[in-house]
Chains A and B, each alone.
Chain A
Amino acid sequence: MTGTESPTLRAAVPPTGAAGAEESWAPPVWVPTRALGRTVLLTGLLLVLGVALGRVDLVLLAAPFAIGAAVGLRRMPRSAPELTISAEEEHIVEGGEVEAGLTVANPDVINYDLVVVRTRTSPWLKLEDADRPHAITVAPDGWTAVDLSGRATRWGRQSVGPAAARVAACGGLLACRPVVIPAKGVRVYPETEPFAATEAMPAAAGLVGNHRSRRPGEGGELAGVRPFAPGDRLRRIDWRVSLRTRDLHVASTLSDRDAEVLLLLDVLGEAGESGGVKGKASVLDTTVRAAAAIAEHYLQRGDRVSLAEYGGSARRLRGATGRRQYLTVLEWLLDVRAERGDRAPAEHVFAAHNVSSDALVVVLTPLVDPRAADMLAGLVQSGRFTVAVDTLPEGAAPPQRGPWTPLATRLWRMERENVLGRLREHGVPVVEWAGAGSLDLVLRDVSRLASAPRGR
């Protein structure tokens, strides 16, 4: 390499001029339409024929085309239209009104003769005429909005868009390339079905809250009377008993405690057809709405609520209390999806040591997948207070594929009944979700079990 001539080396940084030229190049925004081509062709042809044949009438036939082109093209558009999607960002609950719109702004100095705007929307957003293109005009330096109001019919992360606009200007002689903008998300929160569980929590564990705990401490619930001991407060002295027994006695109370509720959502599969907020509910519909209702109920009582998905992704929301946690829960529930593919659920996440021994575990499951039943049995065997909520919609059946389908469905149903029976034998109460009071009966049973000594 040390020869007579130094080798030609390529510069590590390309010359600025070439780069600038490449960057500044972009396909033209405005392109001629077929109408412009037709205008030029007909004008030229008629003029040539007029001159060749010496016919003034042929020249006059070309006149409107020439005048039309001259009028249309006297001022040319330069910039692309600006399209924006506006969607309501407030708290929308399924079944509620959604305000969305498309706005086309014209930064140019000429009128947009025709703007065709169209958008896609999620199937669960029933927006007025959103499935049709809208044809509007936009004045120079102005804007025009297309209103797309309607209703959100199902929970989830819905979207308005992507939207596209195509503009024709200069009397249809020039058209702009379609301007496409990405979708805008609309969060639709699940409708919480009214739910009220009056029964006590099986095991209240925390330090604050309004459940009666099994531990003595400062609280309102009388636990008994016991002899005075150093450290007892004077106002706790029960004078009547002390006088009778001639020895100081204090009234002891049970402390008020909070509880931890773990909502376990089985997302191994989806079954049934969702009909939106007023229609039939699929497994995930029932799961999400029930989870929102149960979480709202316990969070209002000051308990800690945590959530987890039983599936391949094993999402988890750590426990907390209060209104902020309720909003977090709703947000978390928006991303609940049925598991696709055959990813096995991460068993270690749902192992007993990951679930607090005092927590009430509410498992929302359609009990279609045998792994869910195994998981439930495992939780109960490890001594967790577990309640299963059956989320399989009534009448859910696999699609008709042949003459044997009804028989196979019956067999499957019998097998499922068998699994439910075996779970009950293991001590897992299984209830169907039916709104208010769904869990009362089973919570009472679980409380009774919890009050018994745990000999394991």
Chain B
Amino acid sequence: MAGGITQRAGRARTAVARATILPLLVRAAIALVFFGALTVAWPVSLVISRYLAILAVVAVYPAFAPRGRGTTFAVLVVVGGWIADTTYYDARVALWRVLAIATLTYVGHTLAALAAVLPYDAMVNVDVLTSWLVRAALVVLGSAVLTVIVLGLTSELAGGAFLVATLVGLAAAVGATMVLARMLRRT
């Protein structure tokens, strides 16, 4: 037991000594982005209470273990908080919050995907990070435009939100299925 702890401590010291700046920044960004998403998604009353520490732990965990299930769990906690706030706490679905949560969760997800394949002690060419972030920015921009248009349409068709959600959801489900089917056929 004691030997195991000493070994772990030794490994941690080696990791800290060998770590390079860019992988460290990527991991810090993952924690920051998920923390931002959690604070936006969860009800304000919970965020300013001592439960913030739990949210911080949920946000920081994927930064330490980007290869594990921590990232999926963090995104699910964000979505859970958002659903709780808009149903139980009866908060209004504000455009900026939807945009912020969608953007931050996706950026956290894609940065975790990068950190999962990027060793902490790697010598990273800046091109790697730049191209990764540019691609993430394009995706975020596209989905933001979609969000603004769809939420605008929903408010125009006041009362018909359920119908719009059903239609958009069905279209998206069909689209996603097609993408996955195409992908599987190729592999």
Q: Does B24 contact A (CB under 8 A)?
A: no
B93 (CB) vs chain A CBs: closest residue: A57
A111 (CB) vs chain B CBs: closest residue: B131
How far, in angstroms, from A281 to B61 measured CA to CA in the complex?
A: 50
A:340-357 near B, CB below 8 Å: none
B165 engages A168 (CB within 8 Å)? no
Q: Does A408 contact B (CB under 8 A)?
A: no
B:96-122 near A, CB below 8 Å: 98, 101-103, 105-106, 109-110, 112-114, 116-119, 121-122
Q: Enumerate chain B residues within 8 angstroms of A40, measured Cβ to Cβ.
A: 180
Q: Does A50 contact B (CB under 8 A)?
A: yes
B109 engages A132 (CB within 8 Å)? no
How far, in angstroms, from A69 to B143 measured CA to CA in the complex?
A: 12
**How many whole Å from A164's CB to the nearest CB in chain B?**
12
How far, in angstroms, from A64 to B183 measured CA to CA in the complex?
A: 18
A56 engages B109 (CB within 8 Å)? no
**How many whole Å from B22's CB to the nearest CB in chain A?**
8
Contact status of A113 and B132, CB under 8 A, knowing A61-B79, A67-B142: yes
Q: Enumerate chain B residues within 8 angstroms of A61, measured Cβ to Cβ.
A: 79, 82, 98, 101-102, 105
Q: Does A396 contact B (CB under 8 A)?
A: no
**How many whole Å from B69's CB to the nearest CB in chain A?**
8
B:25-43 near A, CB below 8 Å: none
B154 engages A135 (CB within 8 Å)? no
Q: Does A228 contact B (CB under 8 A)?
A: no
Q: Enumerate chain A residues within 8 angstroms of B143, measured Cβ to Cβ.
A: 60, 63-64, 67
Majority SS of interface residues in chain A? helix
A116 engages B165 (CB within 8 Å)? no
How far, in angstroms, from A172 to B112 measured CA to CA in the complex?
A: 9
Of A54, A132, A135, chain B has the most CB atoms within 10 Å of the CB of A135
How far, in angstroms, from A184 to B82 measured CA to CA in the complex?
A: 56
B98 engages A57 (CB within 8 Å)? yes
**How many whole Å from A131's CB to the nearest CB in chain B?**
9
A60 engages B128 (CB within 8 Å)? no
Q: Enumerate chain B residues within 8 angstroms of A51, measured Cβ to Cβ.
A: 165-166, 169-170, 173
A:25-45 near B, CB below 8 Å: 28, 30, 32-35, 38-45
A50 engages B147 (CB within 8 Å)? no
CB-defined interface of B114-156 with A at 8 Å, one 1/0 digit per residue?
1011110111110110011001101110110011001100100
Q: Does A436 contact B (CB under 8 A)?
A: no
A171 engages B135 (CB within 8 Å)? yes
CB-defined interface of B159-186 with A at 8 Å, one 1/0 digit per residue?
0011011101110110110011011001
Of B76, B109, B121, B136, chain A has the most CB atoms within 10 Å of the CB of B109
How far, in angstroms, from A413 to B23 measured CA to CA in the complex?
A: 55
Q: Does A46 contact B (CB under 8 A)?
A: yes
**How many whole Å from A317's CB to the nearest CB in chain B?**
43
A116 engages B122 (CB within 8 Å)? yes
Tier of interface size on chain A: 35 or more
A128 (CB) vs chain B CBs: closest residue: B123
Interface size on B, residues (CB 8 A): 67
Q: Enumerate chain B residues within 8 angstroms of A58, measured Cβ to Cβ.
A: 79, 83, 165
Q: Enumerate chain A residues within 8 angstroms of B119, measured Cβ to Cβ.
A: 116, 118, 133, 135
CB-defined interface of A104-146 with B at 8 Å, one 1/0 digit per residue?
0000000101101010000000000100111111000000000
Contact status of A50 and B169, CB under 8 A, knowing A40-B180, A73-B179: yes
Q: Does B55 contact A (CB under 8 A)?
A: no
**How many whole Å from A114's CB to the nearest CB in chain B?**
5
Could you say which of B18, B72, B125 contacts A42, with CB atoms under 8 Å apart?
B72
Q: Enumerate chain B residues within 8 angstroms of A73, measured Cβ to Cβ.
A: 179, 182-183
A56 engages B164 (CB within 8 Å)? yes
B:51-70 near A, CB below 8 Å: 67, 69
Q: Does B187 contact A (CB under 8 A)?
A: yes
Q: Does A175 contact B (CB under 8 A)?
A: yes
**How many whole Å from A87's CB to the nearest CB in chain B?**
19
B172 engages A39 (CB within 8 Å)? no
Contact status of A68 and B165, CB under 8 A, knowing A61-B101, A63-B102, A168-B117: no
Q: List 29 A-B contacts (CB under 8 A).
A: A33-B116, A34-B113, A38-B72, A39-B109, A42-B109, A55-B93, A56-B150, A56-B169, A61-B98, A64-B105, A64-B142, A68-B106, A68-B109, A71-B135, A113-B131, A113-B132, A114-B117, A133-B122, A135-B118, A135-B119, A135-B124, A135-B125, A137-B125, A137-B127, A171-B110, A171-B135, A171-B136, A173-B113, A175-B117
Q: Chain A: residues with CB nearer than 8 A to chain B?
A: 28, 30, 32-35, 38-47, 49-51, 53-73, 76, 111, 113-114, 116, 118, 129, 132-137, 166, 168, 171-173, 175
